[in-house]
Amino acid sequence: MNFSGWTANQPTYSSHNSPGIFSWLHINHIETIVMAMETALLNCSVNEVIKLLKGLLKKQGYEIEEIDMHEILVLAYHNGKWFSQKKHVLFQISSMDTKRTRIDVTASIEGSNKSEIAEEILEEKLVLGIYDLMQ
């Protein structure tokens, strides 16, 4: 599957990484990035989650690059402004049953000053935004 230069493969876990850390994105088919992810569990259907994500992303200034209904993925980006860098966010959505859905959020921030902590904070902020919209 190819999303604007990103190739997503199955997660590959290794013993030297802590749980939840995995390598799976290749940018420009060259560099492998080790990324963490945040998870949200919601009491609603996949279709409701996708509607919710569209609203949240629009509200926070993100553009949706791709929605893959076969793999149930949403890929979005936020263009960097004067002092900020371009951000990519991947939402992997899994139906646990008809009324429960899991969303795995993975963020990547472009640039040479990229910080894993900043990416984790972005993921946490997006998960909190999802929970806020559900209330």
10-residue mean pLDDT series, the chain (135 residues): 40 34 37 66 92 93 92 91 83 92 92 77 94 87
Query: In sequence order, which residues have a C-beta less than 8 Å from that of residue 84 and are 6 or more positions away?
Result: none
The reply to whether 80 falls in a domain is yes
pLDDT at residue number 105: 96
Q: What is the DSSP string of 80-130?
A: --SS---EEEEEEEEEEETTEEEEEEEEEE-STT--HHHHHHHHHHHHHHH
The reply to whether 42 falls in a domain is yes
pLDDT at residue number 109: 87
CA distance 90 to 45: 19
The reply to whether 8 falls in a domain is no
- The enclosing H or E element of 10 equals strand 6-12
Q: Give the torsion through C-alpha atoms of 20, 59, 131, 24, to 10 deg.
A: -10
CATH number at residue 76: 3.30.530.20
Q: How many domains does the chain have?
A: 1
Q: What is the pTM of this model?
A: 0.71
